[in-house]
Amino acid sequence: MLNPSSPLPLYHQLSEIILSRIRSGEYPPGGRIPSEHQLAATYRIGRPTARQAVELLVRRRWLERRRGSGTYVREKRREIGLFSLDGTHASFQREGLSVSTHVLSPMQSKPVDPSEGNPFSGKKAYCFSRLIRVETAPVLVEDMFFDPVIFSGIDAIDLQDRSLSEIVEEHYYRRPVQGKQNFRIGYPDIRIAAALEVEPSATVLMVERYLDFPKAARAFYAELFCRTDRYVFSQTIGGTVDG
């Protein structure tokens, strides 16, 4: 029940109760929640307070109003974190999606072609490229570059259908301490377009990802090419970052 003695306003307390029931599944996605009149009667508060609580969750996009019908829990959107602690591969899996990877270019140590923004430009690095399919559909191409000293021997590890962030932690006992991402919309080259099964004239989300490890700045760099017609890609601001 609500606590009138709490410094937290009553409407905020009620919004937290509703939210806890959404998270527990008592109010499932697509389901209708009690009306403001019912909430006011149940919690012995005025309807304006109940309305404030509901409106707060509407603004936070947990609820949606349907004219003439009531207030419903929003259907869960499939948002994929491009900058999550578990990496992109695990981000899809965490959403309960079937994920498979296809190696476009195997992990190998080689000179990196001159490229603006790539910290390994003109130097040697471990290079690896893969296509991520979600529910059998091509969604994301990752071109990755690893520091050859920090990640020595990574070319001998089986990378098929595995999260690279987990491999880095398990084999090298390292987790990123800082990172940066640049976003832009662009056109894929022939190689990327073919892998994603789109026309070269189609636009894709292009991401440059930099990760710093303890005592090893910019030890990892990746260029991501993402189809946005199937999934919403997101980035959470704040906290520790990972790749």
Domain map (residue ranges) of the chain: 10-73, 79-234
Q: Closest by alpha carbon to 33, among 59, 53, 7, 60? A: 53
Q: DSSP letter for 40, please.
A: H
Residue 52 or 92, more confident: 52
User: What pLDDT score does 230 carry?
Assistant: 67
Examine the pLDDT at 231 and tell me if it is beyond 90.
no
Report the distance separating Cα 50 and Cα 58, nearest Å: 12
Compare 96 and 126 and report the one with higher pLDDT: 126
Residue 180 has pLDDT above 60, yes or no: yes
Q: What average pLDDT does the segment 194-217 reach? A: 91
- pLDDT for residue 239 is more than 50: no
What pLDDT score was predicted for residue 23? 85
Cβ–Cβ under 8 Å, residues 176 and 220: yes
Where is 209: in which H helix or E strand?
strand 204-213
- Range scoring the smallest mean pLDDT among 37-41, 88-92, 114-118: 88-92
**Do 10-73 and 79-234 agree at the fold level?**
no
- Terminal-residue alpha carbon distance, the chain: 42
Query: Rounded to two decimals, what is the model's pTM?
Result: 0.60
Which pLDDT band holds residue 237 (cuts at 50, 70, 90)?
A: very low
Neighbours of 153 (CB within 10 A): 10
Nearest C-alpha neighbor of 120 from the set 145, 141, 144: 145
The amino acid sitting at 55 is E
Q: Which two tokens mark 160?
A: 């098929």
**At residue 36, what are phi and psi to the nearest 5 degrees?**
-60, -35
> Percent of the chain having pLDDT more than 70?
85
Does the pLDDT at position 168 exceed 90?
no
Choice between 89 and 111, residue whose per-residue pLDDT is larger: 111
Average pLDDT over the chain, rounded to whole? 85
Class of CATH domain 10-73:
mainly alpha
Q: What is the DSSP-derived secondary structure letter of residue 155?
A: G
For residue 180, give every residue at least 6 positions away whose Cβ sits within 8 Å of its Cβ, in sequence order, or none: 209, 210
As separate numbers, helices (DSSP H) first and strands (DSSP E) second, the chain gives: 6, 10
Whether 61 contacts 76, CB under 8 Å:
no
The pLDDT tens digits for 59-96 are 877 899 998 899 999 876 554 444 443 456 656 656 66
Local structure of residue 154 (DSSP, 8 states): G
pLDDT value for 78: 52
Average pLDDT over every residue of 5-13:
91
Average pLDDT over residues 26-45: 94
Per-residue pLDDT, 84: 45
Span 22-38, average pLDDT? 93
Under CATH, which number does the domain 79-234 receive? 3.40.1410.10
Distance separating alpha carbons of residues 178 and 133, to the nearest angstrom: 28
Helix axes of 164-172 and 87-94: crossing angle, nearest 10 degrees: 120
Q: Which amino acid is at 219?
A: A
Angle between helices 36-43 and 47-59 (to 10 degrees): 120
Tell me what the mean pLDDT of segment 163-168 comes to: 79
